[in-house]
């Protein structure tokens, strides 16, 4: 379930979706994460990153791409993106550990691969940080994607909740 949070109570919130409002319940065992805006200065050697190439771009030598978006995340069990297939230079997302970064270039050691890949950074590249958080981050006006099971009352009991900022009061991609 995905949409804009319209109200929050102690252990639940209401999401406005394309087909109407829905209630999501959560507990202390629900895994909650949040994506927040970041900047190039937040990307440092050793950071875990996901680099989304510009739409329609073709990878160059050694999988080089022009980055549309860079998302910074935390290592899990000391590794960035464990169990991810090697990046092959296809026009997919590049995930791995930052080797080096400057104003125009990001060099990433791909998860599952040995050959570093280069991402060109432009003035239009966007940056975000994705990190675990707690229920305090659940707020009216945030965008949410929640997964879990629906109980007999029609409430989604969330196993995972992913929060991100709304853009002009709307959630991009929420009304699929």
Dihedral sign for Cα 117, 172, 74, 81, please.
negative
CA dihedral angle for residue 100, residue 105, residue 106, residue 107, rounded to 10 degrees: -60
> Model pTM greater than 0.85?
no
Residue with tokens 């998302």: 71
Joined together, the tokens standing for residue 37 give 């805006």
CA distances from 2 to 7, 91, 119, 121 (A): 14, 26, 30, 30
State pLDDT tens for residues 23-42: 999 999 999 999 999 999 99
Residue 40 confidence (pLDDT): 96
> Tens digits of per-residue pLDDT, 63-81?
678 899 999 998 877 788 7
With contact defined as beta carbons under 8 Å apart, do 56 and 33 qualify?
no
At residue 173, the pLDDT reads 63
pLDDT given at position 86? 46
Bridge partners (DSSP) of residue 29 are none
**More confidently predicted of 175 and 131:** 131
What's residue 88's pLDDT?
46
Query: In 10 A of CB 160, how many CB atoms?
Result: 13
Per-residue model confidence (pLDDT) at position 77 = 76
Q: Answer yes or no: is pLDDT of 134 > 90.
A: yes
Euclidean distance between CA atoms 16 and 2, whole angstroms: 8
Q: Strand pairing of 31-37 and 156-165?
A: parallel
């Amino acid at each position: 379930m995905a949409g804009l949070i319209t109200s929050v109570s102690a252990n639940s919130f209401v999401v406005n979706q394309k087909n109407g409002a829905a209630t999501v319940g959560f507990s202390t065992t629900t895994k909650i994460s949040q994506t927040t805006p970041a900047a190039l200065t937040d990307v440092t050697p050793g950071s875990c990153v996901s680099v989304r190439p510009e739409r329609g771009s073709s990878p160059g030598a050694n999988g080089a791409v022009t980055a549309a978006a860079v998302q910074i995340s935390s290592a899990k069990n000391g590794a960035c993106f464990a169990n991810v297939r090697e990046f092959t230079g296809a026009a997919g997302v590049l995930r791995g550990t930052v080797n080096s970064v400057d104003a125009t270039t990001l060099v990433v050691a791909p998860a599952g691969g040995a050959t570093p890949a280069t991402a060109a950074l432009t003035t239009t590249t966007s940056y975000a940080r994705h990190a675990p958080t707690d229920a305090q981050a659940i707020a009216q006006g945030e965008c949410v994607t929640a997964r879990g099971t629906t109980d007999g009352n029609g409430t989604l009991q969330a196993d995972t909740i992913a929060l991100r900022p709304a853009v002009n009061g709307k959630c991009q991609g929420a009304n699929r």
